[in-house]
Structure 1
Amino acid sequence: MNRIRRFLAAGGLLVLLAALAMIAPTARAADRDTLVVGMELAYPPFEMTDTAGKPTGVSVEIATELGRYLGKKVVIQNIAFDGLIPALKTGKIDLIISSMTANEERAKSIDFSEPYLSTGLCLLLKKDSTVKTIRDLDQPDHTVAVKKGTTGHAYAGKQIKRASLLVLDKEAAAVLEVVQGKADAFIYDQMSTYQNWQKNQATTRAILEPFQKESWAVGIRKGNDDLKKKVNAFLKDFRRKGGFERLGDKYLKEQKDAFRKLGYPFYL
């Protein structure tokens, strides 16, 4: 009988532990004093670290201002880009602020705030490339680099049928493939394409007119409607007070000026 009781007690304990494991993410997310924001700190000037290893950049400042608006302490979690949505869904983080494009595929598993930046997919090409449009790129003798988990990766997976697809974990690795002439192009967002072209003008050229327009937004866990309303209210208030314009001037003045000269709109 004692063995049976011990067995039942152990079984009950396992059930209890399993139940606690299931609610643990919710409990972490329910910490009302702290806002845990996930981002990949490898995308300057939006998400990066300073010389002391401290998070900085446009998205970090947005997160900090959001925390101040909500009266919460902000904790930044550095997570690989393709791990951000799983981290949000399991409650390891409360929000994603990581230059993430809001699209239909991602909206199946998470919610998004109102957009706060307009951009689009562009091409960084090797210098001697004759490619003029994204359609020209889809040839059997071409190699297209993309960063894993990005909308460029998603686009290429669906639309690039004949060219070889090179999927890499890091932006810098994809740029290097183009710089060295191993890849014909890198599909990435407009501002980063401009920056990478500026750094490598001797070996690359850029097509900065987006072939797919996109908007960045804050990622929010499904069902967290109260937080979504508060984030949207913050974004509206922050824009009204000139917060986005200030961040644009602080981190992206060169891009803003260059895009205006090139005739491309710049929205932040």
Structure 2
Amino acid sequence: MMKKLVLMLAAGLAAFAAQVSARDLRVGSECTYPPFNYKDANGELRGFDIDVAKEVVKRLGADASFVCMPFDSLIPGLVAGKFDLLAASMSITDERKKSIDFSIPYRSSTARFVGPDGSDAKPLTDDGKPNPDGLKGKTIGIERASTYENYMRDNFPEATIQLYDTADNMLLDLTSKRTDLVFAGPIKLANDFLNKDRGKGYKFIGPEIKDVKYFGPGVGIGMRKDDAGLRDELDKAMKAMIDDGTFKTINDKYWSFSVLPASN
């Protein structure tokens, strides 16, 4: 009888272990935003956001599968249950927190303008405040549904905003002289444009903008509001990654500097 009980207990534990290991978490991402989330020449999904998401999900004892969607469809897709998590370089803002929850931030969230070397644009005053007259009559390229769009509309009403579905199309129009400046994250702009041949003759225009009202405390992994338990698991896993050096290993794969927010 005891032997039978032991066997039944072992079978139950094995079944439970199999169930946990088979747990699958679907992760939504844009998949067109290198070096954060993109598909390589072989169609493999890669990038900083993807590496962070995979490591976090692994620490939850789960397997990660990815769902690619346009950036402006990600929050509606998450809320509708098309995936469980959102890892797409999405800044944590009060407006977005009305719809979804976020993990602790794992990347800083700031903004900067880029334009040609000879640009006469002056988006910020000498003391770092928005300077509407400095962009009057200028056309600014911005990725659609981004925090950058909100900042521009509120602070530069006399500038023309041109919206793009992808950062690559935005940068293509800059080099084709169809826009005067682009406005996006400085890590992205430096990595994918200014540090490459196509970025020769262009530069950052004005200093880095750190406005928590628009750009939040950083970038986080998103989840539905009814998943508080999952949020707690994610935060614990993220903190452990940072503490044990795993996050730094992922970070150093892409940059020679830390992208972790100072608060972490």
Give the distance between the partners of 1:167 and 1:149, measured in 2 at CA: 9
- 2:237 maps to 1:240: no
Kindly provide the CA deviation profile for residues 204-226 of structure 1, in whole angstroms up to 9, marking residues without a partner as x.
Answer: 11147322344101111012100
TM-score by length of 2: 0.80
* Cross-structure match for 2:10: none
2:70 is matched with which residue: 77, 80, 86? Answer: 80
Give identity over the alignment, percent.
Answer: 26
Give the distance between the partners of 2:58 and 2:259, measured in 1 at CA: 27
Write the letter of the residue equivalent to 1:173.
N
Query: By how many angstroms is 1:168 displaced?
Result: 1.2
Unaligned runs of 5+ in 1: 1-31, 257-264
Query: By how many angstroms is 1:62 displaced?
Result: 1.4
Alignment of 1:207-226 (within 5 A): 207=205, 209-213=207-211, 214=215, 215-226=218-229
Alignment of 1:12-27 (within 5 A): none
* Cross-structure match for 1:53: 43
1:156 is matched with which residue: 152, 156, 159? Answer: 152
More helix by share: 1
Alignment of 1:196-211 (within 5 A): 196-199=193-196, 200-207=198-205, 209-211=207-209
* Cross-structure match for 1:250: 253
Write the letter of the residue equivalent to 2:210.
Q
Write the letter of the residue equivalent to 1:112.
F
Query: Does the 8 A contact of 2:223 with 2:231 survive in 1?
Result: yes
Query: Does the 8 A contact of 1:131 with 1:137 survive in 2?
Result: no
The SS at the match of 2:113 is: strand
The SS at the match of 1:216 is: coil
Write the letter of the residue equivalent to 1:179.
T
Alignment of 1:1-268 (within 5 A): 33-134=23-124, 135-136=130-131, 138=133, 139-195=135-191, 196-199=193-196, 200-207=198-205, 209-213=207-211, 214=215, 215-253=218-256, 256=257, 266-267=259-260
Write the letter of the residue equivalent to 2:60.
L
Kindly provide the CA deviation profile for residues 46-66 of structure 1, in whole angstroms up to 9, marking residues without a partner as x.
Answer: 111222201111111112112
Query: By how many angstroms is 1:132 displaced?
Result: 3.6
Give the distance between the partners of 1:42 and 1:243, measured in 2 at CA: 25
Give the distance between the partners of 1:201 and 1:267, measured in 2 at CA: 26
The SS at the match of 1:194 is: helix
Q: 1:208 to 1:100 in 2, by over 3 A?
A: farther
Q: 1:59 to 1:126 in 2, by over 3 A?
A: same
TM-score by length of 1: 0.79
Query: Does the 8 A contact of 1:178 with 1:204 survive in 2?
Result: no
Q: Which runs of 4+ in 1 moved over 3 A?
A: 132-140
The SS at the match of 1:48 is: strand
Kindly provide the CA deviation profile for residues 52-89 of structure 1, in whole angstroms up to 9, marking residues without a partner as x.
Answer: 20111111111211221111111011111111000100
Query: Does the 8 A contact of 1:45 with 1:252 survive in 2?
Result: no
Kindly provide the CA deviation profile for residues 153-206 of structure 1, in whole angstroms up to 9, marking residues without a partner as x.
Answer: 121222220011111111111112221222111110110121222223433111
Kindly provide the CA deviation profile for residues 142-162 of structure 1, in whole angstroms up to 9, marking residues without a partner as x.
Answer: 111110011111212222200
